[in-house]
Structures are given as structure tokens and as C-alpha cells.
Homo-oligomer: A and B are copies of this chain.
Amino acid sequence: MLQISKRGIEMPASPIRKLVPFAEAAKKKGTKVYHLNIGQPDIETPPAILDAVKHADIKVLEYSHSAGNESYRRKLVQYYAKNNIHITHNDIIITTGGSEAILFGFMACLDAGDEVIVPEPFYANYNGFAIQADVKVKPISSSIETGFALPPIADFEKAITPKTKAIIVCNPNNPTGYLYSAAEMETLKQIVMKHNLFLFADEAYREFCYDGNHTSAMHLQGAEQHVVLMDTISKRYSACGGRIGAFITKNKEVLDAAMKFAQARLSPPFYAQVLGEAAVDLPDNYFDTTKAEYKLRRDTIVKRLNNIPGVFCPNPGGAFYAMARLPIDDCDKFCQWLLEDFSHEGATVMLAPGTGFYSSKGLGKQEVRLAYVLNVDAINKAMDCLEVALEKYPGKNK
């Protein structure tokens, strides 16, 4: 028999997308589904950057440089400088989404069997890239009780083995929305310096911080050789479909290695580089409106959640996600039940089961992730559904 690969078997299906068939069935029945399950913002892509693509003067749609268009990389230097991140265009490789930046990081810095430590719950696709790179993801649990703050140093020390090569941290965090403080980032710096590890920093949501400033891993003085920034324009400019990200490091050896992976796939997509380049010229107040909108949504959803009996949702400091603990037996069952067996005034809500963001077995069973990517009115209606659903759900915890 013709066999697929073991890694093809082990590769996890997307925990966020596996409920899609149930959502489709619900819609076919005529039920309105409020999608809080996926980080696809509803915010309009700025027309000015869409126009830049429309007006691009292209005769031959050529390969870009494998590191991305030089004009875009030079422009990005300005963007990062505004964020107090000081780099040159030679420190940047433009990638196909943040996804490819993560894969390049795993490939360039870790070998088969090496370990990467990640605070749990974490962005589920790290698992997929780890399987591709044959790397082991070692979770350290953070807790909903502390709002998913950075686990204590002792937990890191316990998890570190001779195989440990890196720590990956998403700040502000997906799925928890937690915004790591300057002190926590400093702690991470101490750990990576002491144990000689790479620090992979996924900062896709840098702009979306509501109760404090963002500390980039690139701000950590003295850790320059350890830090790899994995970035993307997807959420920043509501441009997820463009598939443009960046792999940034001051470690030349790492950059040169990543560059060879970049050369193998020839170049990042051209069009969205044009879009990304134009985005750097958006007015400085561009993020103000978007941020204000997300903050309003966060305040709304967190308040509504905590007003439901038995529900607990810490207030997330950034990104556009909240993790909530629900009074239920099993989030996977509950999320499916919401789509299959429930509706309230012709509507239901789609959530991401918490278990998909944990790799330690048994964790997250009472948790769900809510992406507040809908407007306040829709969020309120979705919360109405959730409130009624939690009254009716047969697997409710007493």
C-alpha cells in the first residue's frame, strides 16, 4: 500500500477550522452564525493601500528579490524606527505571511529533535510548523487565574534541557490577549541569555495594546544576537489575504541561514509587498481609530462575559482575543453543540475551543477563545446567544 508520511498523519488539523462543517450546516438551516472563532478582522483594509496595488505599474510580474523588494524593506525600516526598533533593510527578509517567518525560524535555528519552549495556551499553528521542522514544542502552562501572565522563571528552568534551543513568545498574545510587561520581557531576556537560547518573538498584534505600552523583544538591550522577530502585516492593516510578513534579526548567521530557505522558495508575493510598502505611509493616527474600536469591543465582550453566571474572563491587555472559562463539561462538545443543536432568535455563535491552544492534555477544557472581530452590536447579540446557550446546555457544570 502506498503510504503517506508519519508527519502527514501526525500533523494536526486546524483546531479553529475543524468546526467549519458544523457552521456550514447551521447556515444551511438558516441560522445566523456570529463568528468569534477566527482572527479575521472585519475592519476595512485602508483604501489607500488597496489603491497602491490598483495603481502599481506592472509590465512583467517578476520574481522579487528573495528577501523581498528592497524599496519595501527600506520603507519598513521607517515603520520599525517609529516603534523604537532600529534595524537596517539588510536585517529583514520579507516572508509569505508571519507563518513563513515562524517556519524559517524553526528551520534555521533548530534541528530535528530540538525543543522550543512556549507559554501555554499558544497559537495552535506553532504545532504545525514544529512538525514540519521535526521540532518538539514544550509548553509551560500559564493560568487563567493570573490572566495568563508569564509563568515564573522556575517553570522555564524546569523545562529547559540540553535539547532546548529557543523560547517563542507571542506578544500581545494570541489566544489570551495578554500583554507582556517590560519586566516580563526582561525576564525572558535573562533566561535566553543565561541558557543561550533564541528568543522568537511573534508580534503580529504590536499596535493593539489597550492598557500599556508594547515591549518588543527587539527592545531588549544586549539580547540582539538572540532575538528573531516574526512579524506580519495581516492584522495590523486588516490585510490577512496578502500573505506578507517579515523575518527580522540582527544575528547575521541566522539571517544568512534563513535567506537560503528564502531563496529556495524564490520570492515572497509581489502584490502585497506593494500594499505593505504603501501602508508605512498611512497617517500616524491610522491606528488610533482601529485601536479605539477594538478597545470598545474588548470592554464590551469582557463585561458581558463576566456578567454571565459562572463565566470568568480576565481583561486582555492587547490583540483582539479573549480567553474565557465557561461553566461547561467540555469546550469541544459545547462549541459543536452551539452550531449543531442551539439557536437563539435564529442565531448562534461560533467559538474556538480552548483545548486547541494547549498541548498539555486535559488543559483548557472549560475555556474558549473569542476573537472580537465583529462590531459591538454583533458582539452583544453573540453574547445574548452565549448567555442563553449556557442556560440550556445539557453539559453545564453544576
> Interface residues, chain A, CB within 8 Å of chain B?
1-2, 4-9, 11-14, 17, 40-45, 50, 53-54, 58-64, 66, 96-97, 99-100, 103, 107-112, 114, 125, 128-129, 132-134, 196-198, 225-226, 238-243, 251, 253-254, 257-258, 260-261, 263-272, 275
CA A280 to CA B80, docked complex, whole Å: 40
CA A251 to CA B2, docked complex, whole Å: 10
Residues from chain B with Cβ under 8 Å of A225 in the complex: 2
CA A116 to CA B8, docked complex, whole Å: 16
Residue from the list B1, B50, B64 in contact with A58, Cβ < 8 A: B50
User: Which of A44, A128, A243, A268 has the most chain B CB atoms inside 10 A of its CB?
Assistant: A243
Residues from chain B with Cβ under 8 Å of A43 in the complex: 60
Residue from the list B4, B58, B109, B260 in contact with A257, Cβ < 8 A: B4
Can you sample 23 A-B contacts with CB below 8 Å? Answer: A2-B196, A4-B109, A5-B111, A5-B114, A8-B254, A11-B107, A43-B60, A45-B59, A50-B58, A53-B54, A54-B54, A61-B242, A61-B272, A125-B263, A125-B266, A128-B265, A129-B264, A132-B264, A240-B267, A241-B270, A269-B269, A269-B271, A270-B272
CA A5 to CA B110, docked complex, whole Å: 5
Cβ of A298 to closest chain B Cβ, rounded Å: 20
Q: Is there an interface contact between A271 and B53, defined as CB atoms closer than 8 Å?
A: yes
A interface, by DSSP: helix, strand, loop or mixed? loop
Copies of this chain assembled into the complex: 2
Cβ of A46 to closest chain B Cβ, rounded Å: 10
Q: Is there an interface contact between B109 and A134, defined as CB atoms closer than 8 Å?
A: no
Q: Is there an interface contact between B96 and A265, defined as CB atoms closer than 8 Å?
A: yes
Name 18 extra pairs, CB < 8 A, besides A4-B254, A97-B265, A125-B264.
Answer: A2-B225, A8-B108, A8-B109, A11-B260, A13-B260, A14-B264, A44-B60, A45-B58, A53-B54, A61-B272, A96-B265, A99-B264, A125-B263, A125-B266, A128-B264, A240-B266, A243-B243, A269-B269
3 residue pairs, one from A and one from B, having the closest CB atoms: A128-B264, A8-B257, A241-B270
